[in-house]
Amino acid sequence: MATTKHPVRVGVGGWTYEPWRDNFYPKGLSQKLELHYASRQLTAIEVNGTYYSTMKPESFRKWHDETPDDFMFSLKASRFATNRKVLADAGDSISRFVGSGIAELGDKLGPIVWQFMPTKQFDAEDFEAFLALLPKKEGSRVLRHVMDVRHESFISLDYRKLAKKYKVSTVFTDSDKFPSFEEPEGDFAYARLMMSAADLATGYAPEALDAWAARAQAWAKTPAKRDVFVYFINGAKEKAPAAAGALLERLGWKPAEA
């Protein structure tokens, strides 16, 4: 369900990155306060650490408590669920990830990103078996799932039908390395922008950011009112916070504190 306050959320991947201590975080800021600071300059963060290792409930609870009420986390699901030959066998890995304590994030739990290897090709039968394994809830929390499919075979009508049937969204990207549908598809829109340039102060040129702001606002209304998540990922990663901040400014959002 789209929020009325900030239907378009904008952020970056993670919050611990050495180069950001030169151009995003205030000089001398304790690393323990980086999430506190970042969550007041952005409206969402995509967590990459959950892809590589299993977190504890205490970690999710801590993230919840350190961030503003209207903040949201997207979580990359465990690679052990997606990086396998037979996706239909991923049940135990999916359950382990979902049951690791993600519900501790409460209302700050955003979409779960299921990222597949670029070599993983679309197999309709096996992929449907995987989608059928994804839980709709964890406790009282409704779960939203988004597929980050990175092989051109997924750009097909058969895949689109499965995504619609199981009510999952599909990642949209501007990357020239990975295929993407022309527009983000699903009950919520999820964009991972990966073309930040090191020679631009905000990663993307001003006119490009103007265009992304207009597109994000349109996504929030089409095909119906829906949440939108835009993350600046990779590319010149050191520019990601500046790009996110510039986009938020164009969307009329201001940081909670300096």
Q: What six digits make up the tokens of 130?
A: 């995987």
* CB atoms inside a 10 Å sphere around CB 213: 20
Name the band, by pLDDT with cuts 50, 70 and 90, for residue 224.
Answer: confident
Q: What's the confidence (pLDDT) of residue 176?
A: 93
Distance CA(110)–CA(105), nearest Å, equals 9
Name the band, by pLDDT with cuts 50, 70 and 90, for residue 257.
Answer: low
State the pTM of this model.
Answer: 0.95
Domains of the chain, by residue range, sit at 8-250
- Whether the per-residue pLDDT at 206 is higher than 60: the answer is yes
C-alpha dihedral (185, 231, 88, 136), degrees to nearest 10: -70
- Whether the per-residue pLDDT at 3 is higher than 60: the answer is no
Q: What six digits make up the tokens of 44?
A: 């969402």
Mean pLDDT across the chain, nearest whole number?
95
- Condensed to tens digits (0 to 9), the pLDDT of residues 24-46 reads 999 999 999 999 999 999 999 99
Mean predicted confidence (pLDDT) in 182-204: 96
Which amino acid is it at 244? A
Q: What's the confidence (pLDDT) of residue 5?
A: 63
Element (H, E) at 230: strand 228-232
* 8 A C-beta contact, residue 191 and residue 172: yes
Class of the CATH domain delimited by 8-250: alpha beta
- Whether the per-residue pLDDT at 258 is higher than 80: the answer is no
- Condensed to tens digits (0 to 9), the pLDDT of residues 148-176 reads 999 999 999 999 999 999 999 999 999 99
Q: What's the confidence (pLDDT) of residue 256?
A: 73
- Condensed to tens digits (0 to 9), the pLDDT of residues 99-138 reads 999 999 999 999 999 999 999 999 999 999 999 999 999 9
Mean predicted confidence (pLDDT) in 236-244: 97
* 8 A C-beta contact, residue 151 and residue 121: yes
Name the band, by pLDDT with cuts 50, 70 and 90, for residue 4.
Answer: very low
- Whether the per-residue pLDDT at 2 is higher than 60: the answer is no
Q: How far is CA 214 from CA 12, 61, 99, 218, in A?
A: 19, 35, 38, 6
Q: What's the confidence (pLDDT) of residue 234?
A: 87
* CB atoms inside a 10 Å sphere around CB 210: 14
